[in-house]
Amino acid sequence: MVMALGAALHFGTPREALRTLLIIAGIALLPIAALIVRQVRSGSWSNVDASNRAERPLLFAVGIIALAMLLGVALVFRPGSFLIEGALGVLMMLAVCAVATKWIKVSLHMAFGALAATTLLFLGSPAGWGLLALMPALAWSRLALRRHTAGEVAIGTLIGVVFGYAISNF
């Protein structure tokens, strides 16, 4: 949401930024949040992180469908907006992480954090520096909670940086 807000403010008015946030929350984030709540409450997932590799395919499926819907809405109702590049970039990043899950459980926290920080830094937003400053603490938490290995944290960071660069430069 920080990335979306920063990008929306960079390219438009505060009113347009709020509308963009509501669109993203309603179309992309709400289905994922509902899935997480349902899976944890039912006992299907051990925690909200979908830390078990076997829990990831459903998370990826819902995330990819939600992002595809967001991209479709953006293409129809917001042609030419940065939301299109952002939705496409995040969709592609999530697809790469989903494929990589066969071999490694990529840290999605690090991927999304690095994606947001990189995108905002290339857009010239000071929020990018704030997110960048938080990345070591996020990496530490993923390791301290034993949710990921150092390699999974590093790969997540690298994937996020690559797609953040792509979103803001293409």
Query: How many Å apart are CA 97 and CA 150, to the nearest integer?
Result: 16
Tell me the domain boundaries of the chain: 2-169
Q: Which amino acid is at 20?
A: T
Residues 38-79 have pLDDT tens digits of 999 999 998 898 988 899 999 999 999 999 999 999 999 989
- Give 109-129 pLDDT, tens digit per residue: 999 999 999 999 999 999 999
**Segment 91-96 long-range contacts (CB within 8 Å, at least 24 positions apart):** 91/64, 91/67, 92/163, 92/166, 93/159, 93/160, 93/163, 94/60, 94/63, 94/64, 94/67, 95/60, 95/64, 96/159, 96/163
Q: How far apart are CA 113 and CA 26, in angstroms?
A: 21
How far is it, in rounded angstroms, from Cα 18 to Cα 8?
8
